[in-house]
Every structure is written in structure tokens, then in C-alpha cells.
Amino acid sequence: MFWKNKKQQDDQSNVSRPLITPLPPARARGGTFRRELSRGPNWTASKGSALSNRGLFNYSASGRASFYRYLRDTLPIVSTAIWNWVRLCATPQSVELSGSEAQVKRAQGILTDLDSRILENPYQRSKGINRLMEALFLELFTLGRFCGELVLLPDGSGIDHF
């Protein structure tokens, strides 16, 4: 029941008026209200914000990034908007090489080898420059920042991996 009618007795006058008590959206749909998102220890005592008093979110400098990721991952309209921009910006890459046939073949081998070593992650479906661009734009459009580490070969003659 979304509305409760109660008679509120006032000491000064006997005026009855409805008392509106809305339910949380999840409870109105029959679900449970989620409160376990990101509560830090004793957060309400140290910060005292309205959101932390309800246990919804720990809003700190590092918490802001996880909050933005939470919004991206849980709100379909936000997720769709971000992923549309990621797909528009991270289009498949192509390389055109010029030179003799031996030089082109050598350059293609170097690029293929580099592409197999960029963004190696056993938990990702894909790797290479295309996945790196997708990860870059996803973080850039979600948080406004991106960080990566470029590791050189031991002799410094080239790139080992990213």
C-alpha cells in the first residue's frame, strides 16, 4: 500500500490530515532495498553526510570513481550512452605500410607481435590495440581519466608490453 491515511492528533486542535508515507522503489516492486553498496567502518560518525547515514554510498575521493562505475554498470541509460561513445571512438584500427615487400613483411610481423603483447589480461576476451582503445575510452568517458604503463624491452630497443 503506497499511501497511509492516519489521523494525527494535535494537542492544540483536532485537525485530521493524511500522512503520506512513500515506500522505497525496490520495496514497492516487491524487492528488497539494497543498503550494502559501499559502507566504510564508522562512516556516519566521521563524515555525517545524508547518504552515509542511510548506508547508501561512501562518498570519498576513491569512492567517487566506484560510484561512477556503479552508475555506469547499473543504470541502463548511462551504460548505453557511455558504450555508444566508446564504440564510436574505438573503431577498429588499420595500418597501411609502404616499402619493399621484405620491409612490409618485417613491419607486419613487428606490429602483429606488438599487438599480441599489448594489454595482456587472462580475464579479457580480447587483447591488442583494439581492446586497449576500448578500455581507454571506457575509463575516459566514465571517470575522465586513464592510466597505463608502457614497459620497454630490457635493452630499450622497443616496447615489451602495455
**Residue 69 resides in a domain:** no
pTM to 2 decimals?
A: 0.53
Better-predicted residue by pLDDT, 61 or 150: 150
2-51, pLDDT tens digit by residue? 444 444 444 445 555 555 555 555 555 555 444 444 444 544 444 444 44
- Contact between residue 159 and residue 151 where contact means Cβ atoms under 8 Å apart: yes
The residue among 64, 96, 117 that closes a domain is 64
96-125, pLDDT tens digit by residue? 999 999 999 999 998 888 888 787 776 777
Whole-number Å distance between alpha carbons of 155 and 162: 16
Better-predicted residue by pLDDT, 52 or 95: 95
In this prediction, residue 127 carries a pLDDT of 75
- Whole domain around residue 2: which residue ranges? 1-64
103 with 142, same domain? Answer: yes
- Contact between residue 46 and residue 20 where contact means Cβ atoms under 8 Å apart: no
- Radius of gyration over every alpha carbon of the chain, rounded to an integer in angstroms: 27
Task: Give the end-to-end CA distance of the chain in Å, rounded to a whole number.
Answer: 56
